[in-house]
């Protein structure tokens, strides 16, 4: 099994797990039978009787931009951690070959740099959206 095939499979697995986690975290305030459970959704528009129109659906605290960037950051973070693990595996299996050790170190270093960039980008997006 080649390294490229392994990375592709691990990336697909990470994307699938992230999508399942994101889909499972959706909470509906109203069930399909028409009753509202206000004990679980006390702050929702259905339970208070008025809509919260002061929040921007695009840039608000639960806006589209924040949710999409959070999802992308999670996916990229999972991929970066998987690449760090692959780099560690490459380092372990290098058998003292200096070229392979150097390549494994570069993989780990670049993945850590990517992880730092992901965290900084997510922080910057949250900061900018809180000022809008």
pLDDT digits over 71-129, tens only?
Answer: 999 999 999 999 999 999 999 999 999 999 999 999 999 999 999 999 999 999 888 88
pLDDT of residue 51: 47
Taking a C-beta distance cutoff of 8 angstroms, is the pair 104, 94 a contact?
yes
pLDDT of residue 52: 47
**CA–CA gap between residue 35 and residue 43 (Å, rounded):** 16
Q: Is the torsion defined by CA of 19, 22, 45, 40 positive or negative?
A: positive
- Half-sphere exposure in the Cβ direction for 30 (13 Å, CA): 8
Q: Look at residue 36 and tell me if it is in a domain.
A: no
Beta partners for 30? 36
Q: Look at residue 31 and tell me if it is in a domain.
A: no
Taking a C-beta distance cutoff of 8 angstroms, is the pair 65, 125 a contact?
yes
Q: Look at residue 52 and tell me if it is in a domain.
A: yes
Residue whose token pair is 């900018």? 128
For residue 119, give the nearest of 84, 83, 77 by alpha carbon: 77
Using one digit for the tens of pLDDT, what is the confidence trace for 15-46?
A: 666 665 555 444 444 445 456 566 666 666 65
Q: Indicate if the pLDDT at residue 67 is higher than 50.
A: yes
Q: Look at residue 22 and tell me if it is in a domain.
A: no
The 8-class DSSP code of residue 15 comes to: H
pLDDT of residue 105: 95
Q: Look at residue 27 and tell me if it is in a domain.
A: no
Q: Which domain range does residue 45 map to?
A: 3-17+41-131
Domain count, the chain: 1
**CA–CA gap between residue 73 and residue 19 (Å, rounded):** 12
């Amino acid at each position: 099994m080649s390294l490229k095939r392994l990375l592709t499979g691990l990336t697909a697995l990470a994307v699938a797990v992230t999508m399942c986690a994101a889909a499972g975290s959706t909470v509906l305030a109203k069930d399909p039978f028409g009753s509202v459970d206000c004990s679980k959704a006390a702050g929702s528009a259905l339970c208070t009787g008025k809509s919260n129109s002061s929040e921007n659906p695009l840039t608000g605290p639960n806006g589209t931009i924040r949710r999409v960037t959070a999802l992308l950051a999670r996916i990229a973070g999972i991929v970066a951690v998987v690449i760090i693990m692959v780099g560690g595996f490459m380092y372990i299996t290098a058998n003292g070959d200096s070229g392979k050790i150097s390549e494994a170190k570069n993989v780990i270093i670049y993945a850590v740099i990517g992880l730092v960039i992901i965290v900084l980008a997510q922080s910057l997006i949250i900061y900018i959206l809180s000022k809008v």
